[in-house]
């Protein structure tokens, strides 16, 4: 009987595994040749699975947003913001119940100036 209960538990656990996707969005700022990536709050982030299922959210003050999902497979992640030179897009894979962390930054840097 204990074996049946254990088998039922592990079957249930394998069917309900929840994965997490963490997306960080930033912009590159440079003074001369010294560049730094700054977090971009309030960027719109969309995660699209191969079957068309979408998750969407906004980055927080640290430029990060998190999604929980029970899906797996290839995802396309897109970040948009008026402060980005263009939408940033990347693809990645998430395994069943896995953790995916993606950091994206605008490839077009902006010039920072030194305060006098």
In the chain, which ranges are continuous DSSP H helix?
A: 2-15
Given this model, what pLDDT does residue 14 score?
A: 55
Given this model, what pLDDT does residue 107 score?
A: 87
> Is residue 4 scored above 80 in pLDDT?
no
State the fold for domain 19-111. Answer: Immunoglobulin-like (2.60.40)
Q: Are 5 and 87 in contact (CB under 8 A)?
A: no
Which of 107, 102, 17, 105 has its CA nearest to residue 66? Answer: 102
The pTM of this model reads 0.80
> Is residue 6 scored above 70 in pLDDT?
no
Structure tokens at 96: 């069943």
pLDDT for 38-56, tens place per residue?
A: 999 999 999 999 999 999 9
Q: Are 73 and 94 in contact (CB under 8 A)?
A: yes
Average pLDDT, the chain: 88
């Amino acid at each position: 009987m204990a074996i049946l209960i254990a088998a039922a538990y592990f079957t249930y656990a394998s069917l309900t595994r929840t994965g997490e996707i963490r997306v960080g969005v930033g912009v590159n700022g440079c003074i001369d040749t010294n560049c730094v990536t700054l977090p971009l709050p309030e960027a719109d982030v969309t995660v699209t699975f191969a079957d068309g299922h979408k998750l969407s959210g906004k980055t927080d003050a640290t430029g990060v947003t998190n999604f929980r999902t029970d899906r797996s497979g290839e995802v396309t992640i897109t970040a948009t913001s008026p402060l980005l030179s263009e939408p940033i897009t990347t693809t990645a894979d998430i395994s069943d119940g896995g953790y995916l962390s993606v950091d994206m930054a605008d490839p077009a840097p902006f010039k920072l100036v030194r305060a006098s």
